[in-house]
Structure 1
Amino acid sequence: MKKEQLAGYLLEEVLGYLLESSGYRLVSEADDPASLVSRSNGLCVRGRGAEHQAEALGDLDIAVPFSLPIRLFVEAKCVARPTPIGVVRNAHGVVHDVNEFTHSSIATSRTLRQVQYRYSVFSTGGFTKDAQSFAVAHQISLIDLSSSVWSGLAKSLLDAASAALRLNLGEEGNVATVRRALRESLRSTDSVEYEDDQDLAPGAEAMQSISRYSVGRWARDCAENVLRGKTGKNDLLLGFVDAPFVLALKPEDIDRFDEHAKLFGDDFAVSIRFGRRSPTGGDWVIRPIDDPDAFALSFPIPEAIEQIVLAEDPERQRRAAQRAKRSLLSTITVYRNGRAVRLRYDRTPAEPSPVGDSMLREHLEGRPLDDFAAAGHPLMPHVWPREAIDSLLDRLHRDHHVLERVIRRAAELGGTVSRDDVYSIAEFSPDRTLRGFTRPTDRIRDEMVGEFSLPATALYPLDVHYRNGSRVLSYRVPPEFVERLHGRGADTA
């Protein structure tokens, strides 16, 4: 077995763990023996024409109006290249076959649970265009994990797969045992160690020559690496919309989202804006109307869907972007810890022009810069104009003076300010975390892009540098900030 294939299986286990807070519960044969059966290669689902292997299969413990309960396949690809159409074709064939079995057998079986199967494919390498188009046509959910937010997790799982292969755990008969060991380790702080007389799994005979302790130790180490790198950015929420796909929402800080839901209830208004590079690496960004700095949820939409809901002509683009948000994305329902939280899109006068929202990914290298130049600004990709720097600092001075002082200090030091300097400037207590510290500067930068006072490719004002993937080490400002505040232009600041 190849390393990437085994890493994909491990990613399925990690996703199952991350999705538990969204009401996703992995199922076994005992949950539905009429439809599910355990074989030597793991859990299988009965279809009308064949059985289909499905180790990562779960029920969504949520009530969807006018719909049967949802049972979701999770398939994951831990790869560097875009996932091709063949994977999506297979997904369509599987979900069609198992739904046909359910519908044709329900009249003759009193024990068969009535569920609606859906299929989702996650890929760390994204998807080819024909795969996206096929998925849109056949209602297969594609979740792109190719952003930098997920690169650390992908590397950890590839390393874990390499370690498993060195221990001879990658043989076909061992995969079910390896998956179960990781599944248990992710949900336990203790090492999973197998006793000689313990029933490992179907196909355990293949494990006779392998130390049980090696399996448990490997699973423990893998789980610890995953959980150690897990920050608020690696949490994952499922968003359900009035469209044939599921959104994978990445919270900037899951605790802040939970706090906001507690304060404002299960139904509140949000803005949805398009941004090429959000703090959490997604394409579209959701923020609450009443307090835009309270939380941010980012999510990508496959390019094929963007091309359907958006148009190339700028004027049509404006109308289509608004139509997409008012219809397809008018209400996004998130299930969090047993609660349904409804995020209602609300177009407010304070929200920037939808022109900035509707920029397609493939146009971001040209059209936003053209629009920026048409607004009377020099065409300088990635660069903050002096007027934009001054405007940002003025806004921060009024509402977020600590961030203004941090930026000025970073420029004074040549571009980088340390974690200790930030605590000193802000007079934070040692137990204060820096999660979400740059949220106001990120939001203002995005607003300035929407107002065409800043090119869409301009860097964020404070770029965060981490140690070991989770602890903030320092913040860096773009070089033009150093030039403006402490260079040749400083005398006119």
Structure 2
Amino acid sequence: MSNISQVRGALLEEAILYLLEKVGYETLTDSSSFNNQELRGGHSGLEVRGRGSWHQIDALALFPASPAFMYPLRLMVEAKCYRENRPVGIDVARNSVGVLKDISENYFTVQRRTGQYLQVPSFNYHSAIFSTSGYTAGAVEYALAHQIFLIQYNNVSVIRPLIRAIMQFGPECLTNLGKQSVKEVRERYRNAISGNYYEMDMRNYLTEEGINLIDNALVETLQQIQGSYFGMLQGRWPLHLLTHHELPPHAFETDVVQCRVVGYQTGNWKFTPLHFQPGEPGWFELEFDLPEQIASLVAREWDSREAVANIKRQHFSFIQLSGIIGGIRRSVKLELNNEWIEEYIHSLQPRI
């Protein structure tokens, strides 16, 4: 039996898949075009074969450009849209680890020229959990230990209108709660996002209120997010960087962009370009939510601006960012300008 929290999570997953496509991923939804050794359509959605079992993976994305010496990347996406005061617990991370391990250890048989058969892996699977309410300390530690990527949106203002719209989706939006109703909600939202209204005659479980919410507020607030990029803060912390406007190509004439970092005690932080001002062609603001460990460190030192500046230098020195910039898939580095931070720290020291 499903609950309304699972329905909201499904809506968030569909939104994230759309934002992943802006980064360059391809959403996998139809198993008919793939080797049925690996994928199949189950009663409730797409299923992926593991070493010991088939697993339902509702949100699966493929990155078409693989680095050298790596199998193609498939990303399992799981999203949790809980109340603000309910962080994602360790049980969710444990489940992701178990599924990822089973799928990653599955091997498929291919025939060699000699007539012999060889078992090889087909894809490089990774797992990411997206949360609107953060994570418990246990979930963070467990996920880090098992290389599960955690993305949080607690303090990212760009996505707040979408989250508020999802939270408005309540029991009155459905005639019945169950796996098939979640599947219908997911398909309705996916089609509405892509504009495939001719496929949207399904309404076995959705009420008029639910249909109106999906077709209007949920689509409009999502499409207001024009820029979607992924990065690694300090080469360690995964970030989903969102903007109302796409990053300007004018700011990325080189692959290393000097930046400032500004932030607030709430945890909302931004990378902005050093050499451009608001209103200029190369100006941008890349918003992100601090990882919990760094946020706690900043909170403890917030009364000392010099201490916070030194934390910036130590923990925010760069973001390795990937996404589509000016219609071209790019991998760039946003680098905290050392002279700017030194001048800032110097300006905070008392005059003699």
Q: In which range does the TM-score fall when normalised by the shorter chain? A: 0.7 to 0.9
Displacement of 1:154 in angstroms is: 2.3
Specify the alignment match of 1:39 in structure 2. Answer: 42
Post-superposition shift, 1:311?
10
1:154 equivalenced with 2:163 (yes/no): yes
Of 141, 144, 152, which aligns to 2:152? 144
The aligned runs of 1:302-317 (5 Å cut-off) are 302-304=291-293
Match of 1:226 in 2: 218
The verdict on how the C-alpha distance between 1:264 and 1:120 changes in structure 2, with shifts beyond 3 A counting, is: closer
Matched, 1:182 2:172: no
Q: Residue 265 and residue 131 in structure 1: after superposition, are their counterparts in 2 closer, same or farther (change >3 A)?
A: same
User: Is the 1:192–1:216 contact (alpha carbons within 8 Å) kept by the matching residues of 2?
Assistant: no
Displacement of 1:57 in angstroms is 0.5
* Structure 1 residue 332: Cα displacement: 2.6
Q: Which residue of 1 aligns with 2:261?
A: 273
After TM superposition, give the deviation of residue 93 of structure 1 in Å: 1.4
What SS does the aligned partner of 1:349 have? helix
Shift of 1:179: 1.2
Give a deviation string over 1:115-172, Cα, whole Å, max 9, x none: 211111111111111111212222111111223623432232232343432x22x322
User: 2:138 is matched with which residue?
Assistant: 130
State the Cα deviation string for residues 423-472 of structure 1 (Å, max 9, x = none): xxxxxxxxxxxxxxxxxxxxxxxxxxxxxxxxxxxxxxxxxxxxxxxxxx
Per the normalisation by structure 1, the TM-score is 0.58
1:22 paired residue number? 23
Deviations 1:35-73 (A, max 9, x none): 111111211111112221111111123343553322111
Letter in 1 for 2:339: P
SS of residue matched to 1:41: coil
Q: Report the Cα offset of residue 310 of structure 1.
A: 12
Pair 1:142–1:234, CA change in 2 (3 A): farther
Distance 1:184 1:110 in 2: 40
* Compared CA separation, residues 306 and 173, structure 1 to 2 (3 A): same
Q: Secondary structure at the match of 2:76?
A: strand
Judging by fraction of residues, say which structure has more helix.
1
C-alpha contact 1:266 1:341 (8 A) present in aligned 2: no
Q: Is 2:229 aligned against 1:237? A: yes
The superposition leaves residues 180-200 of structure 1 with CA deviations (integer Å, 9 ceiling, x where unpaired) of 122111110736433xxxxx7
1:99 is displaced (CA, Å) by 1.0
Structure 1 equivalent of residue 114 of structure 2: none
- 1:99 matches 2:99: no
Which residue in the other structure is 1:254 paired with? 245
Query: Number of residue pairs matched?
Result: 333
- 1:152 is paired with a residue whose SS is helix
The answer to whether the 8 Å contact 1:250/1:297 transfers is yes
The structure-2 alpha-carbon separation of the partners of 1:301 and 1:68, relative to structure 1 and needing over 3 Å to count, comes to farther
Q: Which residue of 1 aligns with 2:290?
A: 301
1:164 and 2:173 equivalent?
yes
- CA distance in 2 between partners of 1:300 and 1:233 (Å): 16
SS where residue 229 of structure 1 aligns?
helix
Mapped contact 1:88–1:131 kept (Cα < 8 A): yes
Question: Which letter does structure 1 place at the counterpart of 2:181?
Answer: N
Larger Cα-atom Rg: 1
Provide structure 2 residue ranges, at least 5 long, that are not aligned to the other structure: 112-116
Please, which of 267, 271, 288 is the counterpart of residue 273 of structure 2?
A: 288
Does residue 1:62 correspond to 2:69, yes or no? Answer: no
Name the SS of the counterpart of 1:62 in structure 2.
coil
- Contact 1:317-1:355 at 8 Å conserved across structures: no
2:81 to 75, 78, 81: 78
Determine the C-alpha separation between the residues in 1 that align with 2:64 and 2:165. 30
Q: CA 1:65 to 1:138, structure 2 compared with 1: closer, same or farther past 3 Å? A: same
1:52 to 47, 50, 55: 55
Contact persistence 2:228–2:323 (CA under 8 A) = no
Distance 1:112 1:69 in 2: 13
| In 2, Cα distance between equivalents of 1:106 and 1:375 | 70
Deviations 1:260-297 (A, max 9, x none): 215643624132525126xxx86332122321430010
- Where do 5+ consecutive residues of structure 1 fail to align? 195-199, 201-206, 357-371, 377-493
